[in-house]
């Protein structure tokens, strides 16, 4: 049977599980918001970002308000924050996303855990969750700061490296497949030829552009609201607090955080996270395109395009023996759809700033971080289990190339567009080669046709 202890807040006494470090405000939220319990909890990235932020705030307060933030308090707060960052206290953060729109209860959850855990380590009532851990802060500036810290670190440390690794895989595939000519396709129809390396280079360059866009978005999302406190005025925060916090944060995380130039904007507007998620969505769109290209090119094995081989990872059917499906491509496209849907939620949440505060922040953070996490893991899986094992089916590529009617494009400078079109249409109508159609129409000799229509000179 679970044991309880009594905690209090300004509204009175509350029973709290004795084995947990949270306090009265966390428990009230836990009881009042039974929505998505155990499934849609506040993202761990937010909790870790809060720990970095609380540690940085304690450092800033120790420099600016040393009479209140003593070395002993600073040391204990730092120790507990490190425990949170390492995951040692994960089971002390039970609150769901679907709570107050300012994230106040999650801020207090972190404050209470740091205070109670810190007091246990100190063997004394050294820390108060509001007066010490939340010193010079408000939920209104800490939650948007934590969500931006979490977003920056997730993109910087996880997503961009995953994108670059996949781009490097494609770079190696380009080098490996130099000189292989295949038919191009536009509108899902045969088009002029290109090399397989050129096709792969399009995938690689899309990813490199996406990595650039993601990096650019961080230059906006690294501007933090901290120091604005309740409504942006900085009430109860010492002068220079925001600069000191951001300097400590940058040192602690490896990010490059700076104070937002206007705190009134920083508390109520979420334009930076919308911009950053736009870059995430652009990556999802490119991943959708790349995955679709690859599964189409690998379709078959006998009745599809069949121009490439991809790794066969698991059986594809419970009834059709021997069937193997492009499952890694499918997970990528499903993740891309989820990211695109999340973009709607992020944008709508960001539009709900009323006067001095946005009150849709938890759902905005939840969807943003889910997008980054899913895309990161999806790209890593796709790279490992599909892209790195792609091989060209040279025979099928060559066969399709030689049967393509769009080689006729090479005739344009010699016969003119309209005569070339006649050649293509006659060849298609009679199911004969372009050469045979050209001869039947009397447009070129066999020798001249061979001289003009040379795929290797069309790429």
Residues recognised as catalytic: 187, 317
Q: Rounded CA gap, 233 and 254, in Å?
A: 28
CA 165-167-173 angle, to 5 degrees, is 110
Cα separation, 395 vs 372, whole angstroms: 39
Q: Are 115 and 89 in contact (CB under 8 A)?
A: no
Find out whether 210 and 155 touch, Cβ atoms under 8 Å. no
Q: Are 411 and 441 in contact (CB under 8 A)?
A: no
Compute the distance between CA of residue 133 and CA of residue 26 in angstroms, rounded to an integer: 15
The number of residues in the chain equals 459
DSSP run (H or E) holding 364: helix 361-385
Residue 170 host element (H or E): helix 160-176
Outline where DSSP puts E strands in 187-248: 189-195, 223-224
d(CA 397, CA 304): 12
d(CA 26, CA 31) in angstroms, rounded, equals 9
Q: Strand pairing partners for 31? A: none
Nearest-CA neighbor of 285 among 336, 334, 335, 251? 336
- Scored b (16 or more CB within 10 A) or e, 323-337 reads ebebbbbebbbebbe
**8 A C-beta contact, residue 148 and residue 273:** yes
């Amino acid at each position: 049977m679970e044991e309880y202890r009594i905690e209090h807040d300004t509204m009175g006494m509350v029973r709290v599980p004795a084995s947990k470090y949270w306090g009265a405000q966390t428990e009230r939220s836990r009881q009042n918001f039974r929505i998505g319990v155990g499934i849609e909890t506040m993202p761990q990235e937010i909790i870790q970002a809060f720990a970095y932020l609380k540690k940085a705030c304690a450092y800033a307060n120790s420099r600016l308000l040393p009479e209140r933030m003593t070395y002993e308090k600073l040391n204990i707060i730092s120790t507990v924050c490190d425990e949170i960052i390492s995951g040692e206290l994960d089971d002390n953060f039970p609150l769901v996303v679907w709570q107050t729109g300012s994230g106040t209860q999650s801020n207090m959850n972190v404050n209470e855990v740091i205070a109670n855990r810190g007091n246990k380590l100190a063997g004394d009532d050294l820390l108060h969750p509001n007066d010490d851990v939340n010193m010079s802060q408000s939920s209104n500036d800490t939650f948007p700061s934590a969500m931006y810290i979490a977003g920056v670190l997730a993109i910087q440390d996880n997503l961009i490296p995953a994108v670059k690794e996949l781009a490097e895989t494609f770079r190696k595939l380009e080098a490996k497949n130099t000189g292989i000519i295949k038919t191009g396709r536009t509108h899902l129809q045969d088009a002029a030829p290109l090399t397989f390396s050129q096709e792969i280079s399009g995938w690689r360059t899309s990813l490199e552009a996406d990595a650039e866009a993601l990096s650019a978005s961080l230059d906006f999302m690294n501007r933090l609201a901290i120091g604005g406190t309740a409504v942006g005025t900085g009430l109860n925060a010492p002068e220079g607090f925001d600069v000191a916090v951001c300097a400590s944060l940058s040192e602690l995380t490896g990010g490059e955080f700076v104070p937002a130039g206007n705190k009134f904007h920083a508390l109520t507007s979420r334009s930076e996270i919308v911009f950053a998620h736009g870059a995430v969505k652009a990556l999802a769109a490119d991943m959708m395109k790349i995955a679709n290209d690859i599964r189409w090119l690998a379709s078959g094995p006998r009745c599809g395009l069949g121009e490439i081989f991809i790794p066969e990872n698991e059986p594809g059917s419970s009834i059709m023996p021997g069937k193997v499906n492009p499952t890694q491509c499918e997970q990528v496209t499903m993740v891309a759809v989820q990211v695109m849907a999340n973009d709607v939620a992020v944008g709508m949440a960001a539009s709900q700033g009323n006067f001095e505060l946005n009150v849709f922040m938890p759902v905005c953070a939840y969807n943003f971080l889910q997008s980054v996490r899913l895309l990161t893991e999806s790209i890593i899986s796709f790279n490992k289990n599909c892209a790195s094992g792609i091989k060209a089916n040279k025979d099928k590529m060559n066969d399709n190339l030689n049967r393509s009617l769009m080689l006729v494009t090479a005739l344009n400078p010699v016969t003119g567009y309209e005569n070339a079109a006649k050649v293509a249409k006659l060849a298609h109508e009679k199911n004969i080669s372009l050469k045979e159609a050209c001869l039947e129409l009397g447009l070129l000799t066999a020798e001249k046709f061979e001289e003009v229509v040379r795929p290797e000179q069309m790429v």
